[in-house]
Chains A and B, each alone.
Chain A
């Protein structure tokens, strides 16, 4: 369904991706794991059109999409739940969802989808007219996912959905992702929480310093590489940040 072929990309003068190739097939849940700064988010940015790749091809449903602007990519059927959620905090919950359905013009369908989201995320129904920024992190994450689903995506991309959530909420988010996958949704998931991501993924890619270091089923990945050590860089960086913020 989605295929990246030898994608190179840079942020300003810094080269971040050095030839990423990966594939997501219909109905799959594919995880991208790797340390902080490995290029996971940049890979997603290239797919969603936020970053234009310098070289390489991105093909979605047989159509090249590399270099298209973000507003065109979502119309092709790719929806994004970004890192930090990026909900519109001054808008109400319902207005956030309305914008999620921006590319869908049918009012009746919109109202039906809205009810569906409120059934899936009851807390959002309670908070319907509340400013989204006043909600807790977990609630905001649910809103970000619901907002992405409102566009009826064929491919759902989640960037670090567990970031900044309590362990209990992390469980909930992973359960939700698994449930969506069970309903047939194709999902591309980026996570630093390697263990959890490998538990629910069909296949996974390990990215390190802008390259695909390993790929395969979670079992293969666990067997062939020391995933934990690849992840250690991130863990140490996180610890350093943690110490820094303790001061």
Chain B
């Protein structure tokens, strides 16, 4: 029984990180039709911010907020400096730019800090755990789930109740029409990148919390995971991104738990095989377009 509880908490906590990452990716995709491959580097930026603040007299919570803020600033600036000037040119140009930005961030970290991993400060509660029956549950996992649920709730309110949130959803459906109603494109895009940065920064705290260290290439795995989760859930749906994140985590944790010991090394292959299987039957993703264009002839 308690094993089952442990399994659920693991899947939920991993799924929470996947879901937030995927959501950040889909928000940008919805509004710009750009898969932002520089997105993983936001985790790196948050990580190095924590590293640089290490040893400062600030309480950890303040450091955490600074890290999230750094991710937001990096995200918004990336859009302003790299994507905005070429936005009207072509989608391919933006896609390639996102690779360039990703490389630039990684090389900056290699050059300015170090290719070797650096220790990030973590709060004590991250290393604590509570016993449920004979299973130890990490406090960090519970916190990841709670923080994610709070963020998802806040985001839902924002997107359904505020004018700018509604405009953001409208722009994902039809940017041209949204602008014709007077909503400035730049405002919406900056906002999408800010939210995307907030999500990545928050994920960073928990992602780095697993190893307590940061490397220049740390962003790659969460990026790939987020990308797979969005494809799984449906690239045009915010709900799909969240569902995709949790389903992917469930598959991953399930395979880790139930795969025979000598096959564990191949767990990624099994995960991706499962993803391919799902997409064979639902090529549009689990949740088909909710914000897509419904009224075209």
Contacts and interface: CB of A to CB of B under 8 A. Distances in A.
- The judgment on whether A and B are partners is yes
Interface of A: 48-50, 69-71, 73-75, 80, 82, 84-91, 95, 98-100, 102-103, 133, 140, 147, 151, 164
B173 A89 contact: yes
B172 to A, nearest CB: 9
Most interface-central of A69, A91, A98, A99 (chain B CB within 10 A) = A99
A102 B180 CA distance: 10
Interface string B274-297: 000000000000000011111111
B291 to A, nearest CB: 5
Given A91-B166, A140-B295, 9 more contacts: A73-B180, A88-B174, A91-B173, A98-B166, A99-B163, A99-B178, A102-B182, A133-B294, A151-B182
Nearest to B175: A70
B173 A90 contact: yes
A100 B180 CA distance: 9
A140 B167 CA distance: 18
A90 B173 CA distance: 8
A123 B213 CA distance: 59
Nearest to A157: B180
Contacts of A103: 181-182
Interface of B: 163, 166-167, 169-170, 173-174, 176-185, 290-297
Contact of B295 (A50, A74, A84): A84
A102 B163 contact: yes
Contact of A102 (B169, B174, B181): B181
A45 to B, nearest CB: 9
Contacts of A86: 174, 176-177, 295
B183 A99 contact: yes
B180 A99 contact: no
Contacts of B178: 88, 99
A87 B173 CA distance: 9
A70 B176 CA distance: 8
B295 A89 contact: yes
Contacts of A82: 177, 180
Nearest to A94: B166
A98 B167 CA distance: 9
A87 B185 CA distance: 18
Contacts of A99: 163, 166-167, 170, 178, 181, 183
Given A88-B173, A89-B173, A91-B170, A133 B181 contact: no
Contacts of A73: 180
B14 to A, nearest CB: 29
Contacts of B184: 69, 71
Given A89-B294, A133-B294, A71 B185 contact: yes
Nearest to B178: A99
A11 to B, nearest CB: 14
A35 B34 CA distance: 36
Nearest to A137: B295
10 contacts: A49-B180, A50-B180, A69-B184, A71-B179, A88-B174, A89-B173, A91-B173, A95-B170, A102-B163, A102-B181
B185 A69 contact: yes
A90 B177 CA distance: 14
Contact of B182 (A50, A71, A84, A90): A71
A89 B293 contact: yes
Nearest to B179: A70
Contact of A75 (B167, B182, B185, B294): B182
B47 to A, nearest CB: 36
Nearest to A100: B181
Contacts of A140: 295
Nearest to B165: A95
Most interface-central of A48, A70, A140 (chain B CB within 10 A) = A70
Contacts of B296: 84
B293 to A, nearest CB: 7
A91 B178 CA distance: 12
Contacts of B183: 71, 99, 102
A88 B169 contact: yes
B290 to A, nearest CB: 6
A73 B290 CA distance: 30
B180 A98 contact: no
Nearest to A103: B182
A231 B169 CA distance: 39
Contacts of A70: 176, 179-180
A52 to B, nearest CB: 10
A80 B170 CA distance: 16
A89 B169 CA distance: 10
A48 B295 contact: no
